[in-house]
Structure 1
Amino acid sequence: MAISLAKGQKVDLTKGNPGLTKVTVGLGWDVNKYDGGQDFDLDASAFLLDANGKCVSETDFVFYNNAQHASGGVTYTGDNRTGEGGGDDEQIDLDLSSVPATTEKVAFVITIHDGEARNQNFGQVSNSYVRVFNSSTNEELIRYDLGEDFSIETAIVVGELYRHNGEWKFAAVGSGYQGGLASLVRAYGLDV
């Protein structure tokens, strides 16, 4: 049974699941009534961060234009441009045994593509969540429902996988940002 987290909570991932190396982070959302005449395209991304909380190079940013990290440890599986349908809207696969040793943390974010230009924000999104499941068995291990705490934000850091004493843990973050993906890229030490 999956562990349900609230914002700020942390939980062991690998300690309670010995031998677990392949996990998938699924992200889902629904768009509230929106009549702006344009698609509402949310995107999942992952940032591989060093001990300083920064990306070492541009390749440490995994998203729709860089779908796989050079290590093979993190892979973005595809872009859902509407959020239609049930279940996860986008997923990121991880092979924890292949994530570089210099990576202390993997941050997972959801951003609204061209959100500011299209006058879209997370106040128009509902039922957003992140879940972590065992890729081999499809067993859901962790779930974090983000709730309706956002209004004008166009980017959200939803959660982080991080190393602690040789094990992987997951933290439910739920921090919103204005400025879309560009603001997060800069925050994680990359040039836009």
Structure 2
Amino acid sequence: MSTGGIARGGNVSLTKENPGLSAVAVGVEWDRTLEPALAESLTLAAVLCGADGRAVGRESLVFWNQMTSSDLSVAALDSALGHDVEQVEVFLADVPDTVSKVVFVLYVNEGSPRRRTLGQLSTCRVRVLDAESGRPLASSENLAASFGTETAVLLGEVYRHREHWKFKVVGQGYSAGLRGVTDEFGLTS
């Protein structure tokens, strides 16, 4: 089932509607007319979370510096499928039972003194694809319209619902950037 334009808070069933779905690619698409420094500093990350909503461990953050989760169920892709700029693949059957959801975060990886924010984006969508066929399964509305001073945004989450997997669009911004995200999910001491 292909859907488009899911609003914040909306969700869609992945495995119930697509029996046999074994892996999804969750990606982000943003406007490609950005200043190069901002475009190059945007990074997609994933956090594997337990039933309490917190990261299951320090090794559960998947991003440019740690390309796979320790259990190999979640991995950043070297090259994205379709129109996405960056993607993370989730092997659904391999996700440990202790993980109830995988959250996806886009953040500004600041390396320069010039402050960049997600408010500079005019387009930002999170998408879910069948990782084997590349077929679109879900796509969010344009989330960029509500961005301001945020330097990180929780785009969405792939989560367990009874015996199936679902996807939910979140769109929650963090002005504290990746630090705010890691604090919320218990990845800082």
TM-score by length of 1: 0.89
- For the 8 Å contact 1:156–1:175, the answer to whether it is kept is yes
Structure 2 residue corresponding to 1:114, chosen from 104, 110, 113:
110
Whichever residue aligns with residue 20 of structure 2, its letter is G
Partners in 2 of 1:167 and 1:67 — Cα distance?
A: 26
How many equivalent pairs are there?
Answer: 184
Structure 2 residue corresponding to 1:102, chosen from 98, 104, 109:
98
- For the 8 Å contact 2:118–2:150, the answer to whether it is kept is yes
The alpha-carbon deviation at position 118 of structure 1 amounts to 2.4
- Taking the TM superposition and a 5 Å limit, the aligned residue runs for 1:52-91 are 52-78=52-78, 87-91=83-87
Q: 1:189 to 1:179 in 2, by over 3 A?
A: same
Q: What is the aligned partner in structure 1 of residue 139 from structure 2?
A: 143
SS in 2 for 1:66: coil
Considering fraction of residues, name the structure with more helix.
2
RMSD: 2.0
Structure 2 residue corresponding to 1:126, chosen from 103, 112, 122:
122
Q: What is the aligned partner in structure 1 of residue 30 from structure 2?
A: 29
Q: What is the aligned partner in structure 2 of residue 83 from structure 1?
A: none
Partners in 2 of 1:175 and 1:19 — Cα distance?
A: 31
Using the TM superposition, name which of 23-32 and 51-60 deviates more. 23-32
Q: What is the aligned partner in structure 1 of residue 50 from structure 2?
A: 50
Partners in 1 of 2:183 and 2:113 — Cα distance?
A: 19
Partners in 1 of 2:176 and 2:32 — Cα distance?
A: 19
Q: Which consecutive unaligned segments of at least 5 residues does structure 1 have?
A: 81-85
Whichever residue aligns with residue 159 of structure 2, its letter is Y
Whichever residue aligns with residue 91 of structure 1, its letter is Q
Structure 1 residue corresponding to 2:179, chosen from 160, 177, 182:
182
Q: Which consecutive unaligned segments of at least 5 residues does structure 2 have?
A: none
Considering fraction of residues, name the structure with more strand.
1
